[in-house]
């Protein structure tokens, strides 16, 4: 029987809120078994870009990344956010190690081809070094991944953190029985984004098509849902979307997805 692995992605809004940040890392540190954390931080990059006079641009939940924006992303994701998370987890007794896709050649990508939109220095994932990540887990480390990949020729690329989480979960699923958790500030996928009490408890492929058609999912939820189904189609055992409480046993209020 395969060992269990939890891949937990935490979003920018959770990271920005000091209470939410401590709470989610506390729950993550208490999770049993093999685990990997993936973090975003898009809000902070938006804020820093504005401070530096660069107008942020997002299309379908993905950032248009010019060279200056990439530098900001590297500083925010690979530096500020990563190191704060690692330090907090160390304080909680979890032996965390901060990783970008370039470290240990963990995630290779190529620049997203220009079709209708030129996203600039945004990476589409080609491969994940599952064996390298496995060795870190075996050595007792908890890998903490940020939203950066590399092309193997010295170029770092900005990659949506939801995509990173899905690709890591998929690549580890040959060896592990993997659950992918998308943890953000809302209780789950909501029927009405303004109403926290409208959690959709279960979504399958048909339901997903309907939600898309009725415009019930938008913005950052678009790449998240796309990645949920991409993961399920590629051997990830379970995918869940919800707030931090989803990581605690016995909480029914979140969204589970199936094909």
Annotated binding-site residues for substrate read 41-42, 63, 158
φ/ψ of residue 13, rounded to 5: -65, -40
Selected binder of ligand ADP within 121, 125, 169, 190 (CB under 6 A): 190
CA distance 143 to 59: 29
H/E element, 246:
none
Told to check if 12 binds ligand X2W by CB under 6 A, we report yes
- Tokens (6 digits) for 203: 């979504």
11 vs 188 by CB, closer to ligand X2W: 11
CB 19 → ligand X2W: shortest distance, Å?
Answer: 17
Strand partners, 3: 176
SS3 call for 119: coil
**Which listed range, 30-38, 83-91, 119-127, 185-193, lies at the site for ligand ADP (CB under 6 A)?**
185-193
**Which listed range, 18-26, 94-102, 155-163, 210-218, lies at the site for ligand X2W (CB under 6 A)?**
155-163
CB 45 → ligand X2W: shortest distance, Å?
Answer: 5
CA distance 207 to 259: 10
> In terms of C-beta density within 10 A (0-12 exposed, 13-18 middle, 19 or more buried), how is residue 233 classed?
exposed
- Tokens (6 digits) for 246: 């989803």
Selected binder of ligand ADP within 4, 16, 56, 61 (CB under 6 A): 61
CA distance 61 to 57: 10
Told to check if 49 binds ligand X2W by CB under 6 A, we report no
Q: Name the E strands within 176-243.
A: 176-183, 202-203, 238-242
Selected binder of ligand X2W within 7, 21, 41, 167 (CB under 6 A): 41
Told to check if 158 binds ligand X2W by CB under 6 A, we report yes
- Tokens (6 digits) for 130: 């599952």
CA distance 207 to 198: 15
Told to check if 12 binds ligand ADP by CB under 6 A, we report yes
**Which listed range, 10-18, 28-36, 69-77, 138-146, lies at the site for ligand ADP (CB under 6 A)?**
10-18
- Using CB distances below 5 to 8 A depending on partner kind, what does residue 221 bind out of ligand X2W, ligand ADP, none? ligand ADP
Told to check if 156 binds ligand X2W by CB under 6 A, we report no
Residues engaged in binding ligand ADP (CB under 6 A) = 11-13, 40, 42, 61, 184, 186, 189-190, 193, 216-221, 224
């Amino acid at each position: 029987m395969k060992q269990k692995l939890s891949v937990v992605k935490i979003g920018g809004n959770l990271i920005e809120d000091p209470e939410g940040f401590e709470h989610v890392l506390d729950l993550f540190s208490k999770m049993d078994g093999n685990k990997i954390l993936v973090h975003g931080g898009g809000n902070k990059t938006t804020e820093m870009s504005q401070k530096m006079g660069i107008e942020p641009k997002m299309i379908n939940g993905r950032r248009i990344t010019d060279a200056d924006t990439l530098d900001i992303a590297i500083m925010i994701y690979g530096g500020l956010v990563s190191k704060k998370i690692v330090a907090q987890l160390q304080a909680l007794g979890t032996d965390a190690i901060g990783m970008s896709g370039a470290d240990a050649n963990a995630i290779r990508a190529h620049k997203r081809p220009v079709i209708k939109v030129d996203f600039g220095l945004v990476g589409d994932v080609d491969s994940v070094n599952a064996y390298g990540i496995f060795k870190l887990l075996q050595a007792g480390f908890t890998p903490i991944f940020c939203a950066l990949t590399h092309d193997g020729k010295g170029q770092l690329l900005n990659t949506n953190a939801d995509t990173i989480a899905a690709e890591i979960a998929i690549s580890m699923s040959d060896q592990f029985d993997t659950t992918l958790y998308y943890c953000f500030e809302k209780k789950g996928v909501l029927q009405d984004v303004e109403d926290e009490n409208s959690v959709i408890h279960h979504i399958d492929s048909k339901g997903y098509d309907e939600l898309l058609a009725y415009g019930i999912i938008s913005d950052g939820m678009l790449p998240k849902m796309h990645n949920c189904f991409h993961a399920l189609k590629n051997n990830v055992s379970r995918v869940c979307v919800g707030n931090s409480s989803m990581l605690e046993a016995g909480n029914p209020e979140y969204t589970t997805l199936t094909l």
